[in-house]
Amino acid sequence: MDLRPLQNYIAGQWVDAEHSSLLPVENPSTGAIIGQVPLSTSAETHRAIEAAAGAFPGWSRTPVARRAQYLFALLELLRKSEEEIARSITEENGKSLTDARAEVKRLVENCEVACGMPVLQQGAKLIGASDGIDGEVLRLPIGVFGMIAPFNFPGMVPFWFLPYAIAAGNTYVLKPSEQTPLTMQRIARLIAQTNLPPGVFNLVHGDRTVGEALMDHPQVKGLSLVGSTRTCQAVAERCTRNRKRFQAMGGAKNHLVVMPDARVEEVVRNLLSSCFGCAGQRCMAASAIVAVGDATYDAVCQRLIEAARRVIVGNPLDPAVAEEPMLMGPVISAKALAFVHQMIDTGVREGAQLALDGRGVRVAGAEKGHFIGPTIFTGVKPGMAIHSTEIFGPVVVVLRAGSFDEAVSILNGHAYGNGASIYSQNGYWVRRFKLEVECGMIGVNVGIPAPVAHMPFGGMKASQFSQIKAQGRAVIDFFTEPKVITERYWTET
């Protein structure tokens, strides 16, 4: 295990970080220390920004097809390293290898989509906007962009932005989560192998100090944050004050509505991975089930509890369980585990029924891991703290609704609006659900309605603090200025 402090990557060089302190990086399954991350200073962050600013003029003038070639080279390296990256994710985050491999696939998919930038970045021209006047929209790169990443998808989430930003001609400074910095470190080594011109991509490790330095620096033109809603609020305020464009994608409480005509057996099989995959630490995790009608409610509760008992809780790198299809690892830290426990106590105090209690799970050989088993509350009422709060652990609340309309009003009354799914074979209810539910991503008989990389990813309400979503064609609007030209020439005589 290499416990030397991670280095930053600035101006094409790996450098020892100027830092205020070092933070241990923990394997949440075993409690073992697997790295040390420097909390870089503002001055160090400024050096990365200045490197990116210095690289911008040359990079933005590089033909887009040539810029995309670097991504093709990166794709090849990523594909060869898929398993290694997945293992790194599992080691520092604790999700199962199955979940980590799926994360890597989506990361690669985003890189593939960004390779289409020569087509995606094309502008538009309107001949004859007025008499003898043409209108034209250019989609121009803007400058230095920053990104602040969360712990739960250490590889994929940065790739919702990074490949698009640089393919569009911008330069970049990325700050991984200080809790899971090792995966991006590994990927940055691959980026370095593509011989991208120095300064186009920079990696700075640290905590909010780095994020704040990015937001305050005049040469940073825009910032993407993915994190908790509280962090989104802080970032939205700071970026607005500093007149920077920003994307801030926040917390969630995703509801799955089960209609009386749903195929309950299939639904429960589908629910299981939505609720307990990644130990509930996905922004698209299903954390609230709304069953419509008493019979549906009873059937869902009974079958979900039975199925959840069969989820294997274990160290995802233990060969004895690593390839189990429904394996659940730990939550990220002792602090996160304590919060989940606190919320379970709250649920009991609020009068919900703790139908399955995951506390007290012991994983042999991994006693220092932050494990908790699947936990299910039934009889939950809208507005209880266990319903209104993002718990970000394997805790599911089940609510009963008397009708479709009541179910929709439970969802729309919630502060978050990231994803929501309906289970039904009936097109009438499904159509209304798609149109009426105030969430950015909707699933129909799909437990995790996370869009593929070609489509926009993002929520509504407290789940997203900006209009432009991540990945696909949508994010290119964030990384380009739609400069509009109105043009006329007088007649030559």
How far is it, in rounded angstroms, from Cα 332 to Cα 446? Answer: 26
**Sole window of 44-52, 130-138, 247-255, 428-436 interacting with ligand NAD (rule: CB under 6 A):** 247-255
Which of 114, 235, 292, 411 touches ligand NAD by CB under 6 A? 235
Of residues 139 and 221, the one with the C-beta less far from ligand NAD: 221
- The position carrying tokens 């309906």 is 422
How far is it, in rounded angstroms, from Cα 71 to Cα 67? Answer: 7
Distances (CA, A) of 287 to 14, 259, 414, 462: 41, 17, 13, 16
Which of 234, 292, 354, 391 touches ligand NAD by CB under 6 A? 234
Site for ligand NAD in 256-315 (CB under 6 A): 283
Which of 378, 463, 466, 471 touches ligand NAD by CB under 6 A? 463
How far is it, in rounded angstroms, from Cα 313 to Cα 311? Answer: 6
Q: Are 85 and 42 in contact (CB under 8 A)?
A: no
Of residues 270 and 287, the one with the C-beta less far from ligand NAD: 287
Site for ligand NAD in 186-225 (CB under 6 A): 207-208, 211-212
C-alpha closest to that of 5 among 188, 136, 178, 225: 178
Of residues 92 and 178, the one with the C-beta less far from ligand NAD: 178
Q: Are 242 and 216 in contact (CB under 8 A)?
A: yes
* DSSP 8-state class, residue 197: P
- By CB atoms closer than 10 A (0-12, 13-18, 19+), residue 57 is exposed
How far is it, in rounded angstroms, from Cα 156 to Cα 176? Answer: 11
State residue 138 phi and psi, 5-degree precision.
Answer: -100, 145
Minimum distance of ligand NAD from residue 440's CB (angstroms): 9
* DSSP 8-state class, residue 178: S
Does 460 sit near ligand NAD (CB under 6 A)? no
Of residues 208 and 269, the one with the C-beta less far from ligand NAD: 208
Of residues 312 and 415, the one with the C-beta less far from ligand NAD: 415
Structure tokens at 141: 């790169």
For residue 136, the SS3 value is strand
**Sole window of 74-82, 107-115, 250-258, 357-365 interacting with ligand NAD (rule: CB under 6 A):** 250-258
Of residues 221 and 400, the one with the C-beta less far from ligand NAD: 221
* DSSP 8-state class, residue 247: E
Does 226 sit near ligand NAD (CB under 6 A)? yes
How far is it, in rounded angstroms, from Cα 117 to Cα 388? Answer: 40
Identity of the amino acid at 406: E
Does 459 sit near ligand NAD (CB under 6 A)? yes
How far is it, in rounded angstroms, from Cα 357 to Cα 377? Answer: 9
Tell me the residue length of the chain.
493
Which of 231, 270, 315, 471 touches ligand NAD by CB under 6 A? 231
Q: Are 361 and 312 in contact (CB under 8 A)?
A: no
Task: Give the DSSP per-residue string, 44-57.
Answer: HHHHHHHHHHHHHH
Minimum distance of ligand NAD from residue 142's CB (angstroms): 21
Does 228 sit near ligand NAD (CB under 6 A)? yes
Site for ligand NAD in 129-188 (CB under 6 A): 148-153, 157, 175, 177-178
Which of 418, 421, 424, 466 touches ligand NAD by CB under 6 A? 418
Minimum distance of ligand NAD from residue 49's CB (angstroms): 15
Active-site annotation holder among 232, 283, 301, 439? 283
Of residues 226 and 386, the one with the C-beta less far from ligand NAD: 226
Site map (CB under 6 A) of ligand NAD, residues 2-31, x = contact: ------------------------------
- Please report which residue ranges of 277-326 form alpha helices under DSSP H: 294-309
Name the maximum alpha-carbon separation found in the chain: 90
Site map (CB under 6 A) of ligand NAD, residues 43-82, x = contact: ----------------------------------------
239 among known catalytic residues: no
Does 390 sit near ligand NAD (CB under 6 A)? yes
Which of 53, 102, 147, 252 touches ligand NAD by CB under 6 A? 252
Minimum distance of ligand NAD from residue 140's CB (angstroms): 27
Minimum distance of ligand NAD from residue 305's CB (angstroms): 25
* DSSP 8-state class, residue 457: B
How far is it, in rounded angstroms, from Cα 371 to Cα 329? Answer: 7
As separate numbers, helices (DSSP H) first and strands (DSSP E) second, the chain gives 16, 23
Of residues 227 and 330, the one with the C-beta less far from ligand NAD: 227
Of residues 47 and 175, the one with the C-beta less far from ligand NAD: 175
Q: Which residues are catalytic?
A: 283
Q: Kindly list the residues in this chain that would bind ligand NAD in the complex (CB under 6 A).
A: 148-153, 157, 175, 177-178, 207-208, 211-212, 226-228, 231, 234-235, 249-252, 283, 390, 392, 418, 459, 463
